[in-house]
Structure 1
Amino acid sequence: MIVYTVQTEEAWKQFKKVGYLEGNKKFIDQDDLYSYDWMVRVAKTRLPHYEGNYPIWVWEATHYPNRNHKAWGKKNSKMVIMD
């Protein structure tokens, strides 16, 4: 399955360096932190081998993210759509 994710330029550079993406609490917008924490709590109860890592948002290839959407990142930040 092909998926897409929208990440900061910094996350993209880290991906190029190490070869994978990893969810990190310090990069989660404070307005979204409660929701991310909820997802982690629920995943711990439903997934037997889940270790508590923060999730990364992805879209299926059939739902390519709209690159013109104004909600990607903070104002004046550089964002990258990765597949």
Structure 2
Amino acid sequence: MGVYYSIQTYEAWREAQINGYFIGNEKFVWDEFKTPYRWLIDQMNELIEHDGTYPLWLWLEKPDLSEEALLEKGTEAVCLTLSVPDHRVLISDFNAWHCVLSNFYCCLTDEEDDQIDQGVFKLSMEESWKRIFDIDLLSQSEYWTTEEPLLQGVTGKIFLHQVISFEFFKAN
């Protein structure tokens, strides 16, 4: 069991009180991100115990609730502290995830970047994206070692019995 944190809207909190769980929802995913999210769901189905639902985002460290851009400004929200079985959480590097969102290769070196430009890189783009889950590999890369990795996770459902504590706040 790991301890994780998740930011949810107050509306999602109320719905979870009725259903007994939080679940990801496609309606909150921008259209341009639906393909990357579908890829992520496929990875979740392959790599962790998952039921094919849209992901719920988790943090390994508690986010600063005064930070801008957690949610739209003024949104009533809740920060959940959770205990979730590790086999139901897929961990990735936050910055590397943006390769998937932006439809870019996840390169590790300048040489790989050059190979892509020359059309001789051995991995497909989607195969390169799997690197976002290999934190040790990324930590050895010249591209991904400029700062401490920011790790995030995804899971399919968060059950109310997994909530250790919660804190209401309004997004800045």
Structure 2: runs of 5 or more not aligned: 82-172
Residue aligning to 1:39: 40
Identical residues among aligned pairs (%): 29
Q: What aligned pairs does 1:42-61 form with structure 2 within 5 A after superposition?
A: 42-47=43-48, 50-60=50-60
| Higher Cα Rg, which structure | 2
Deviation at 1:58, TM superposition (A): 1.0
Question: TM-score, normalised to structure 2's length?
Answer: 0.40
User: Contact (CA 8 Å) 1:3, 1:59: kept in 2 or not?
Assistant: yes
**Matching of residues 3-82 of structure 1 within 5 Å:** 3-30=4-31, 32-47=33-48, 50-60=50-60, 63-82=61-80
Q: TM-score with structure 1 length normalisation?
A: 0.74
TM-aligned CA deviation for residue 4 of structure 1:
1.2
The answer to which structure, 1 or 2, has the higher relative contact order (CA under 8 A, 6+ apart) is 1
Whole-Å Cα distance in 2 between the matches of residues 32 and 13 of structure 1?
Answer: 26
Q: Higher strand fraction: Structure 1 or Structure 2?
A: 2
State the superposition RMSD in angstroms: 2.2
Q: Which amino acid aligns with 1:27?
A: F
What CA distance in whole angstroms lies between the structure 1 residues aligned with 2:65 and 2:32? 22
Structure 1 runs of 4+ off > 4 angstroms?
29-32
In structure 1, the gaps of 5 or more residues are none
Aligned length: 80
Cα gap change, 1:31 to 1:73, in 2 (>3 Å): farther
Q: Deviations over 1:10-54 (max 9, x none)?
A: 11111122221111111234464443222113334445x643211
Name the amino acid aligned to 1:25.
E
Q: Which amino acid aligns with 2:29?
A: I
Contact kept? 1:9, 1:79, Cα under 8 Å: yes
